[in-house]
Structure 1
Amino acid sequence: MPDISGLRLRKPGAGREPAASALLGWLTDERSPQLCVLTGPAGAGKSHLLAWLVEYGTTSADTTKRRVHAVAPLGGTGLRGAAWLLADHLRLAARAPAELTAAIARDGRHTVLVLCELHLSRAPEAVLEQLVRPLLQLGHVRLIIESRPGAPCTEHLFEQTRNSAVMDLMDPRWTTPETFSRWALATDPAADAEQCYPLPGPVVRSEQVTETSPSLDSFVLAAETMVRADPHAVTAWLDHHAGAAERESDLGRAWLRAGQSLCVSDTASARALTLVAALDSDTGTDTRHALHGLAQSEPWHVAHTSTREGVSGHWPGPATALCAGTALHARHVLCAGHLGDVRLLDPTNGRAVGRLTSPHNGPAAAIFCLPDGTVVAVDDFGGVNLVGEAPRRPGLRALLEPDADPWTRLRRAVLAFPQRMAGATLTTAASLPDGAVFGDSGGRVHVLLLKENTVDVTSSMLHDGPVTALTGISLEGTGPTVVYSGGVDGRIRVWSPGVAPMPEPLLHGPGPVVDLSASGSEGRSAALAVAQGDGLVQLLDLDSGTDLSFRPGPPVRAVCCLRTGAGELRTMIGMDDCITTLVPRPSRIHNSR
């Protein structure tokens, strides 16, 4: 079957050219229903046809309308598992079906989703009610659902969505007899093509395989049992069969919080690391000790975690932005929340030890601490606000000559910088060892450096679209300033003011960069923490080129990379209901780039 560009593509096989053409026509016809139900008995070739459709969308030159953006095999999964599978393919972090639907709604681009084997889901009715129905309310979404005829969920699907396209592969119009016979003879010369038509299953296997809905075993709510079991089965059990006490237990809440990451982890040790990172540090020591032991082979160690449900009351609140403190805040990590206030966190245990008030009572897009300890926030509207009080210089000269202080000049330049913007809005900012850096909605990065008695401003166009993340360090602790910027274009650019930006990005991902944080000091290797829009966190050693990755599960809002007084490198990850800090194991660092 050639596409319009003349590129020869693999045929669907088994005489299914009519079915393949009909599916492609459904995808490209704007008048066709949002939903297509693909049905047929076992051996009808439903999965084979869908696999061909997905391959066609990634191989054909004309893929604007024909591309399948996400596929979720529902066999053995529950409601959350189905949502997480789709979110993984769409490169989104979504804790629940409603969060996934909201993210797809905000995106607004044409999206084709495929749900396979609905009849084998552990919670098909919940999938229909809480995932399929909301998705069909979005006009830019198209759904293909595969389900077995006669299954209760299939009948329910037909009742709910009467205006849908239905393709029953038992209907002869979807399979050409002559082509089917030739295919059957080539596949198995002993096959009786006439007897098998239109089912390809009996041709490719000697015995008919009967698919049954998997039984849902009970699980012991214990750390080791959970991380060694099928993660989708554990999730479905917690979601649909466990009691409220089990769901609301420390382990139950942690599992559902980190479930999207747990369900894609390949090993029990990786799941143990993810689960212990989602567990509050005040959880019973036996549970945490067991998980730490199982995660010994992983390249990270979890230093501490604070969660909304923690019993000790040390939860600092949701994190919208993080940064390392300077001067009088040098021993703290600054954490901005949804209401504008900034909490001072102890990096050794993650607990809030102080609070700074802000005149802006909304979430901060960025927070940074100038070299003299001045705390500044950028709000969602591009405004720049002082948080708390500005540091005061001691002595009589500070009173008589307030403008003589170079840090005062820098502070004034930073707070007044939005007035210099024309045609763009500030979107993010960060401190530098000798100044500050801003990013705007047009893709430009602006560096403010304190030089003798003046504040120099240097700007460069670095991104296609808004700048979303910034950080900077001095090489070797005292050398030239280096700025790292991330944008909605997925690029991380490197730039030193006064020098042309590096032509190629340091990294280029498929989704937006959420946050960046660099740590550099004399005598120690520089490191860069990266938070991606799909929930992935990376720690890059900028000297050796090695990197470590971790996916906590929930959407990541902010990261902070810092060294403790003892020189230990730590990465703090801020989320809506969890803040966790990881320490890389030096002997386990590997090159995964």
Structure 2
Amino acid sequence: MRGAVWQIANRLGVVAGTPAELLSALLAGPPRTVRVPLPPDHELVASLRALGHLDVVLEEPRVLPPGAPVDLDDPAAVCAADPFRVTEAYEADADPHGGLRTAWLRAGQSLVRDQPRAGRALVLLSALDDAADPRLGPALTEPAAGAPWRLAWSSRRPCTALTTAPDGRLVVREDRVLAVACRADSTHLVLDERGRLHPRGGPATRLTDAVAATLASHPATALAAMGDTVLTGDRMGTVHAFSLEGLEQAALHTGRVTALTATTSTAYSGGTDGTVRAWSPGRPVVTRRPCPVGALHATDRLLAVAWADGLAQLHHLDTGRVASFRPGPRIRAVAVTADGSLVVGLDDALLCLSYRT
């Protein structure tokens, strides 16, 4: 069942690990045509049709290639085998296999995609938890050496929001907030789930009091700090810049603003319209995909973007090069470290990846 869910979710640009999560994601979106490579009597087909606003088109079911059983204890074997066969085998076998089964089922939506063996090994390595057999890490690191990314470190620490402090220190929030921003004085600004502002780590100021009062009646959907300016986004697609000199506004997106970030010179916004814009003359589109933006973080040279379909990208702003990584689960937040590494925040983990040059 999981293989079918992941395959359909990948086609539709959503993240889902169970049939219930898939149906919920589809209900939250517009009516659409769903092409399903499943037999007519499959229970997932009946569930999709029961939603009512989907046009379900059946395709020829995927036929798993014949072959000997996969050794589910061997990291190299599961990375090289057909991923749908591996998924079925792990679903049918409750043995943890040293932690390989748990990691595979955690990152499966990425693992079932067509990709080189090295890329699959890297994703599986990043999904290992602290209880995994310690021999699995080295066993997966070797085949993952051919991937464009290197896993610098990982932590089974939950994450809902990320940013960096002025000194480069990573700031991680675990308490279900929408966003966190750091001001030049290292004060943390937190945007809660209701879209309201809370200063942390220092006294409130006249500016933060004014922004908090505004958001109490007009909740925000995104937050960033740029020098002495506080940036917020709203559900109508407008970005607001609050400073002691006044308020500047720009309608940058069609639909909700979902993410904001800023360097000392440039602010960037992302929205449900699938665009990332720079708030500069002309307000150019930096990147666009047919998928909502989930999170942003920028330095002077690098821009990290998380997308709602589970893709993380690191954009090199000076060269235009883009490096991509899919961990499998939904990405909650991203950040760029002082050395140019990409930190990806998930519901149950933090991953730090360095791009091989």
CA distance in 2, matches of 1:277, 1:90: 24
**Pairing of 1:364-403 with structure 2 (within 5 A):** 364-387=177-200, 389-390=201-202
**Pairing of 1:141-220 with structure 2 (within 5 A):** 141-145=54-58, 214=66, 217-220=69-72
Match of 1:495 in 2: 279
**Pairing of 1:329-340 with structure 2 (within 5 A):** 330=167, 332-337=169-174, 340=175
Q: Which amino acid aligns with 1:254?
A: A
**Does residue 1:112 correspond to 2:25, yes or no?**
no
Q: Which has the larger radius of gyration?
A: 1
**Pairing of 1:231-310 with structure 2 (within 5 A):** 231-240=83-92, 242-246=93-97, 249-280=98-129, 283-307=132-156
**Does residue 1:323 correspond to 2:117, yes or no?**
no
- Name the Cα RMSD after superposition: 2.5
Query: In structure 2, do the counterparts of structure 1 residues 430 and 106 end up closer, same or farther at CA, with 3 Å as the change threshold?
Result: same
CA distance in 2, matches of 1:245, 1:93: 24
Percent identity between the aligned chains? 34
Give CA-to-partner distance per residue, 1:279-327, whole Å, 9 cap, x none.
23674443212222212222211111223xxxxxxxx33x22111124x
Deviation at 1:258, TM superposition (A): 0.9
CA distance in 1, matches of 2:143, 2:177: 38
CA distance in 1, matches of 2:118, 2:102: 19
| Higher-helix-fraction structure | 1
Query: In structure 2, do the counterparts of structure 1 residues 531 and 378 end up closer, same or farther at CA, with 3 Å as the change threshold?
Result: same
Q: Which amino acid aligns with 1:303?
A: A
8 Å CA contact retained: 2:70, 2:78 = no
**Does residue 1:577 correspond to 2:348, yes or no?**
yes
Q: 1:427 aligns with which of 218, 221, 225?
A: 221
| Higher-strand-fraction structure | 2
Match of 2:291 in 1: 511
Consecutive unaligned residues of structure 1, counting only runs of 5 or more, are 1-78, 149-210, 308-315, 341-362, 392-406, 475-480, 521-525, 588-593
CA distance in 1, matches of 2:121, 2:145: 9
CA distance in 2, matches of 1:545, 1:147: 39
Query: In structure 2, do the counterparts of structure 1 residues 415 and 253 end up closer, same or farther at CA, with 3 Å as the change threshold?
Result: same
Match of 1:171 in 2: none
Deviation at 1:89, TM superposition (A): 1.1
Deviation at 1:368, TM superposition (A): 1.2
- How many residue pairs are counted as aligned between the two chains? 356
CA distance in 2, matches of 1:465, 1:88: 23
Query: In structure 2, do the counterparts of structure 1 residues 244 and 285 end up closer, same or farther at CA, with 3 Å as the change threshold?
Result: closer
Match of 1:98 in 2: 20
Query: In structure 2, do the counterparts of structure 1 residues 578 and 96 end up closer, same or farther at CA, with 3 Å as the change threshold?
Result: farther
Task: State the TM-score, normalizing by the size of structure 2.
Answer: 0.91
Consecutive unaligned residues of structure 2, counting only runs of 5 or more, are none
- Secondary structure at 1:136 match in 2: helix
CA distance in 2, matches of 1:255, 1:136: 29
Match of 1:151 in 2: none
Q: 2:48 aligns with which of 116, 135, 143?
A: 135
Match of 1:551 in 2: 326
Give CA-to-partner distance per residue, 1:249-285, whole Å, 9 cap, x none.
4211111111111111321111011111112367444
CA distance in 1, matches of 2:250, 2:59: 50
Deviation at 1:212, TM superposition (A): 9.6
Match of 1:14 in 2: none
- Secondary structure at 2:302 match in 1: strand
8 Å CA contact retained: 1:95, 1:553 = no
8 Å CA contact retained: 2:64, 2:85 = no
Match of 2:81 in 1: 229
Q: Which amino acid aligns with 1:434?
A: D
CA distance in 2, matches of 1:434, 1:265: 46
Query: In structure 2, do the counterparts of structure 1 residues 146 and 271 end up closer, same or farther at CA, with 3 Å as the change threshold?
Result: closer
8 Å CA contact retained: 2:181, 2:190 = yes
CA distance in 2, matches of 1:528, 1:225: 36
Deviation at 1:146, TM superposition (A): 5.8
Task: State the TM-score, normalizing by the size of structure 1.
Answer: 0.56
Q: Which amino acid aligns with 2:108?
A: G
Q: Which amino acid aligns with 2:213?
A: A
